[in-house]
A and B are shown apart, each in its own frame.
Chain A
Amino acid sequence: MSDTLSAPAGAGRASAPPPGSASRRSPARLLKPLLLVALLVVLLALPLYVEEFWLRTGFAVAGAIVGAIGLNLLVGTTGQLSLAHAFFLAVGAVSYTYISGESGGLGTRAALRGLELPPIVGMVVGVLLAGLAGLLFSPIAARLRGIYLGVASLGLVFIGVHVLNTWTPVTGGFNGRSVPEFSLFGFSFGNDDPQLFVLGVPFRAAERLWYLGLVLALLAYLFARNLLRSRPGRALQTLRDSEVAASVMGVNVQAYKARVFLVSSMYAGLSGVMYALSIGSIAPESFGLTVSILYLAMIVLGGLGSVAGAALGAAFVTALPLVFQQFADVLPLVSAPGEGGVAAGIAARYLFGLAIILVVLFEPGGLAGFANRFRRRGRGSARGPGSGSPSAGPASASSTTVPDPSDPPAQGSSTR
Chain B
Amino acid sequence: MTQFLSLLLNGISLGAIYALIALGFVIIFKASEVVSFTHGSLLLLGAYTIARLSDSLGFLPAVLVGVLVTAVAAILVERFIINRLRGAPVISLAIVTIGVDIILLTELIRQIGPDILNVPHPWGGDSVRIGGVGISENRLIAMGVAGVLIIAFFVAFKYSSWGVAMRASAEDGEAAALMGIRQGRVSALAWVVAGVLAAVAALFLVGAPTPGVSAAAYTVALRAFPAAILGGLDSTGGALVGGLLIGITEAMAAGYQDQLSFLGRGFGEVAPYVVMIIVLLVRPSGLFGTKELTRV
Residues in A neighbouring B266, C-beta threshold 8 A = 162, 165-166
In the bound complex, what is the Cα–Cα distance between A293 and B40 (angstroms)?
Answer: 14
B270 touches A145 (CB 8 A): no
B36 to chain A, nearest CB (A): 11
Whether B96 and A360, one on each chain, are in contact in the complex, defined by CB atoms closer than 8 angstroms, is yes
Q: Which residues of B contact A415 (CB under 8 A)?
A: 88-89, 91-92
Which single residue of chain B is at the shortest CB-CB distance from A166? B264
Surface stretch bound by A, among B46-54, B100-108, B143-151, B152-160: B100-108
Cα A248 to Cα B110 in complex, Å, equals 51
User: Please, which residues of chain B bring their CB within 8 A of the CB of A377?
Assistant: none
A56-90 CB mask vs B (1 if < 8 Å, else 0) is 00000000000000000001000101000000000
Whether A360 touches B269, Cβ cut-off 8 Å, given contacts A151-B229, A167-B264, is no
A158 CA / B285 CA spacing, docked (Å) = 21
A325 to chain B, nearest CB (A): 16
The closest CB in chain A to the CB of B276 belongs to: A155
Q: Are A346 and B106 in contact (CB under 8 A)?
A: yes
Residue interface bits B31-64, CB-to-A below 8 A is 1, else 0: 0000100000000000000000000000000000
Q: Is B292 an interface residue (CB 8 A)?
A: yes
Distance (whole angstroms) from the CB of B296 to the closest CB of chain A: 5
What is the bound-complex CA distance between A166 and B85, given in angstroms?
A: 43
How far in angstroms is the closest Cβ of chain A from B286? 8
B98 with A148: CB separation less than 8 A? no
CB-CB < 8 A to A163: which residues of B?
Answer: 264
Q: Is B274 in contact with A150, judged by CB distance below 8 angstroms? A: no
Residue in contact with B294 in the complex, picked from A143, A151, A244, CB distance below 8 Å: A244
Docked complex Cα distance between A290 and B276 (Å): 21
A357 to B81, CA, bound (A): 8
Cross-chain contact of A152 among B81, B92, B229 (Cβ < 8 A):
B229
A243 within 8 A of B: yes
A356 touching B273 by the CB < 8 A rule?
no
Complex Cα–Cα for A184 and B284 (A): 44
The reply on B99 being an interface residue by CB < 8 A is yes
Which listed residue, B98, B110, B225, touches A356 by the CB 8 Å rule?
B98
In the complex, what distance in Å separates the CA atom of A415 from the CA atom of B93?
Answer: 10
Judging by beta carbons under 8 Å apart, are B273 and A353 in contact?
no
A258: Cβ under 8 A from any B Cβ: no
In the assembled complex, A349 has its CB within 8 A of some CB on chain B: yes
Per-residue contact bits, chain A 145-171, to B (CB 8 Å; 1 contact, 0 not): 111101110111011001101110000
Q: Is A140 an interface residue (CB 8 A)?
A: yes
Among B103, B267, B284, which residue has its beta carbon within 8 angstroms of that of A144?
B284
Q: Which of A81, A248, A355 contacts B91 (CB 8 A)?
A: A81
Within B250-296, which residues are at the interface with A (CB < 8 Å)?
263-267, 269-270, 272-274, 276-277, 280-281, 284-286, 292, 294, 296
- Total residues of chain A contacting the partner, CB 8 A: 49
Contact A356 B89 (CB under 8 A): no
* Cβ-based interface call for B90 (8 A): yes
Give the contacts of A207-265 with B (CB-CB under 8 A).
243-244, 247-248
B129 at the interface (CB under 8 A from A): no
Q: Shortest beta-carbon distance, A274 to chain B, in Å?
A: 24
Closest approach, in angstroms, between the C-beta of B215 and any C-beta of chain A? 12
Chain A, 174-208, CB within 8 A of any chain B CB: none
Tell yes or no: A30 within 8 A of B by CB.
no
The distance in angstroms between the C-alpha atoms of A289 and B102, with both chains bound, is 11
Q: B294–A350 contact, CB under 8 A? A: no
Asked, given contacts A244-B294, A300-B95, A361-B84, whether A159 binds B270 with beta carbons under 8 Å apart, the answer is: yes
What are the residues of chain A within 8 A of B88 when measuring CB–CB?
360, 415-416
Q: B226 in the interface, Cβ–Cβ < 8 Å?
A: yes
- Cβ–Cβ contact B296 & A247, under 8 A: yes
Whole-angstrom distance between the Cβ of B25 and the nearest chain A Cβ? 9
Option from B102, B281, B285, B294 in Cβ contact (under 8 Å) with A243: B294
The smallest beta-carbon distance between A139 and chain B, in angstroms, is: 7
Chain B residues whose CB sits within 8 angstroms of the CB of A382 once the complex forms? none
Which residues of B does A touch, CB under 8 Å? Answer: 35, 81, 84-85, 87-92, 94-96, 98-103, 106-107, 110, 222, 225-226, 228-229, 233, 263-267, 269-270, 272-274, 276-277, 280-281, 284-286, 292, 294, 296
A-B contact pairs, 18 of them (CB 8 A): A75-B91, A146-B90, A147-B233, A148-B233, A150-B35, A151-B229, A155-B272, A166-B263, A248-B296, A297-B102, A300-B95, A300-B99, A349-B103, A349-B106, A354-B99, A356-B95, A356-B98, A416-B87
